[in-house]
């Protein structure tokens, strides 16, 4: 118990519990996971909100993310500066969205951001190509990739503008049977 008090104040913990989908225990566990990435950088006392940022190299080396083809995107989307360098808040944010309890809409919103590689708020062909290539490790021929991308746009593009907006994406993803079960990371 004494340990808990020194890291966060009870108010901080309560606030974190309100802002994430985690219980107190999980928040502390996440904190330790975060700290284990760089014990020399992260202090054990967060009551006065130290300004600590871990570089992407450390975040991306977590076993939960290590094998994920989209790890860099995930880190970029959730980091404050957009380069994948994360504070503890970003870190909690990330795993809160990717936790089991997060609602479909929230997940869909962030999934959209993750797949939107060039940050233009549309998933366009180049984003789709990147996604396919990451998913298949460039195993498909360019024609196949092109075909797949065309099919995706044909299927999901409701307003026919040749790229997927957030609404198109949500419309599509909300029906996907596996989206909730696959778009989450347990920690």
Partner 1 sequence: MATEIEAAGIEIDGQVESDTQSEEDEGKEKTSKKQPRRETVRASRLERKKPQRDKEDESKEEHNCPRQNRASRRKTHQKKNGDGKKAEVKERDKKASTKDQKNSENKEKKTNKKGKEGENKQKKGRKNSTSSESSNSFDEESLSEEELAMLMEQVEQRKKLISAMRNKPWRMVKKLSVLREAQAFVEKFEGALGKGKGKKLYAYKMMMAKKWVKFKRDFDNFKTQCIPWEMKIKEVESHFGSSVASYFIFLRWMYGVNLVLFGLIFGLVIIPEVLMGMPYGSMPRKTVPRAEQATAMDFSVLWDFEGYIKYSALFYGYYNNQRTIGWLKYRLPMAYFMVGISVFGYSLMVVIRSMARNANESTADGEDDNFIFSWKMFTSWDYLIGNPETADNKFASITTSFKESIVDEQESNKDENIHLRRFLRVLANILIICCLCGSGYLIYFVVKRSQTFSKMQNVGWYERNEVEIVMSLLGMFCPPLFETIAALENYHPRIGLKWQLGRIFALFLGNLYTFLLALMDDVNEKLDEEDVVKNITRWMLLGHHNSSMGNSSADTPPSLDPADVPRGPCWETTVGIEFVRLTVSDILVTYVTILVGDFIRACFVRFVNYCWCWDLEAGFPSYAEFDISGNVLGLVFNQGMIWMGSFYAPGLVGINVLRLLTSMYFQCWAVMSSNVPHERVFKASKSNNFYMGLLLLILFLSLLPVAYTIMSLPPSFDCGPFSGKKRMYEVIQETIELDFPLFIAKIFSYVANPGLIIPAILLMVLAIYYLNAVSEAYQRANAELKKKMQMQREEDKNKRNNKTNNNSMMQDLEDLLAPSTKIEIYPKQAEGKKIESPDQVIPFGKQGKAEVLNGSPMSGGRRAVLIPPPHLLVTRPPTPGIWAPYSYADKPWPGAHPLGLVPGRGRGHPCYSHAAR
DSSP class of residue 9 equals: -
- Asked whether 163 and 124 are in contact (CB, 8 A), the reply is yes
Total residues at interface with partner 1 (CB under 8 A)? 78
Interaction pattern, residues 55-84, with partner 1; x per rule: CB under 8 A: --------xx-xxxxx---------x----
- CA-CA distance, 122 to 74, in Å (whole number)? 17
Site residues for partner 1, 20-59, by CB under 8 A, read 20-21, 23-25
Is 4 a binding residue for partner 1 by CB under 8 A? The answer is: no
Which of 158, 133, 161, 137 is CA-nearest to residue 148?
A: 133
Site residues for partner 1, 120-179, by CB under 8 A, read 120-122, 124, 128, 131-132, 135-137, 139-140, 144, 147-148, 151-152, 155-156, 158-162, 165-179
Least separation in angstroms between CB 138 and partner 1: 10
Task: Report H helices in the chain.
Answer: 2-7, 10-19, 24-37, 56-60, 63-66, 71-78, 88-97, 104-115, 125-136, 142-156, 166-173, 179-182
**Which span sits near partner 1 by CB under 8 A: 1-9, 38-46, 50-58, 116-124?**
116-124
- Asked whether 104 and 179 are in contact (CB, 8 A), the reply is yes
Least separation in angstroms between CB 89 and partner 1: 3
- Closer residue to partner 1 in complex, CB, 41/172: 172
């Amino acid at each position: 118990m004494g340990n808990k008090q020194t890291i966060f104040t009870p108010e901080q913990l309560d606030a974190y519990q309100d802002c994430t989908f985690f219980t107190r225990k999980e928040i502390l566990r996440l904190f330790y996971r975060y700290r284990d990435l760089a014990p020399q950088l992260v202090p054990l006392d967060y009551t006065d909100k130290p300004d600590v940022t871990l570089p992407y190299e450390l975040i991306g080396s977590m076993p939960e993310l290590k094998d994920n083809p989209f790890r860099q995107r995930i880190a970029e989307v959730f980091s404050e500066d957009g380069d994948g360098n994360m504070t503890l808040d970003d870190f909690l944010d990330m795993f809160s969205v990717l936790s089991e309890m997060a609602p479909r809409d929230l997940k869909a919103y962030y999934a959209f951001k993750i797949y939107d590689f060039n940050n233009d708020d549309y998933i366009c062909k180049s984003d789709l190509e990147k996604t396919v290539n990451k998913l298949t490790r460039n195993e498909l021929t360019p024609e196949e990739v092109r075909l797949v991308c065309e099919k995706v746009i044909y299927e999901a593009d409701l307003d026919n503008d040749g790229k997927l907006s957030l609404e198109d994406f949500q419309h599509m993803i909300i029906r996907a049977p596996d989206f909730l079960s696959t778009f989450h990371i347990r920690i």
